[in-house]
Structure 1
């Protein structure tokens, strides 16, 4: 892990060190505050609020006020420069997109990529972390094969990552994984916070296991 963290900005290094980004996506962001408290209590310190959730910008601002400064709150599904500006203005510490194409940003920007050509292009463009998306159908073996000729890329697989897959992706070379519904479940829409806490602890344990 040490080699992969060389020359990373503080936000990207903290995400890589944490090993997991919780992706908060729901029809509305009303339940995100309660979800965030549970995630932080379990040891998850990086969260991505997707802009497809109603009230996402307000949620980013609210979570920044609610949570300790050591907890990173970023914006996901950032598709346009207007999206990026609004998210940064709301306090997003990082930006994540399922695609590439945004220009330079005042906070770390993690573009999406799928093929080796896209991953290499994002890396050459200076992306500190690259979102491999959608990763679930590819599997950890794809990442291992990808990093053989591209050992310097820092990959964050996202999309279809189950809790049981976290350690496999990290062992295959991911610096972190983005996990959405398998982790958050229905907790943001009235589901059990107790069950969320158990899933979050499982996710954190998976990171520790992979790095032990």
Structure 2
């Protein structure tokens, strides 16, 4: 499969994430509720989950979700900062890794580095990153990405951080291959909040992707 912007083919995991258009980011003081949250997200149609290593029990949660969820759901690890982080996450079963910064890590699975400026984004693209995390994206807005992709049409950008559910269509229209959404989607569900409310937000997010691509 080729990327959404006509560049070289993506690996299967990154292609699946690009096709889905959405990565749900699970971050909480403890990963205790992640299994229940993941069930709700997947039932609503979310097929890519990022488990942040800053959550206590994250590695155990990744391993558990890999056993719990269908093979069609991609389970990744976020907040990867070191080679040790990457190895532990991959050993737990992570199919992709996400970092808030750009770090030279050989992971054995797709690694999506964090970038902010055009120079950082282009450097990550030249280094072969299949998807490039734009972080924090909320303060920049979709117009930033649209302007960026004028001179850099082949970059595959995954905006993350401060993206409201209602803004998902604008980001995808601006050229994002997918968006990463944490707090606006998960809310307080990972800390014992309403799973019913989570289900409604998840359906909203999935519908926003479908609307943008219809």
Aligned with 1:71 (options 63, 70, 73)? 73
Q: Which runs of 4+ in 1 moved over 6 A?
A: none
* 1:5–1:16 contact (8 Å) kept in structure 2: no
TM, length-normalised to structure 1: 0.98
Structure 2 CA distance, aligned partners of 1:6 and 1:205?
28
State yes or no: 1:207 paired with 2:209.
yes
Aligned to 1:49: 51
State yes or no: 1:92 paired with 2:112.
no
SS of aligned partner of 2:87: helix
Deviation, 1:105, is 1.9
For structure 2, the residue ranges without an aligned partner over 5 or more in a row are none
Which string of whole-angstrom CA distances, capped at 9 and with x for unpartnered residues, describes residues 100-147 of structure 1?
112332000000000000000000000000000000000000000000
User: Please, what is the CA RMSD of the aligned residues?
Assistant: 1.0
Structure 2 CA distance, aligned partners of 1:102 and 1:14?
24
SS of aligned partner of 2:76: strand
* 1:4–1:175 contact (8 Å) kept in structure 2: no
Structure 2 CA distance, aligned partners of 1:141 and 1:123?
20
Deviation, 1:3, is 3.9
* 1:129–1:154 contact (8 Å) kept in structure 2: yes
Deviation, 1:5, is 6.9
Structure 1 CA distance, aligned partners of 2:65 and 2:88?
16
Aligned to 2:34: 32
Aligned to 2:109: 107
Structure 2 CA distance, aligned partners of 1:132 and 1:2?
17
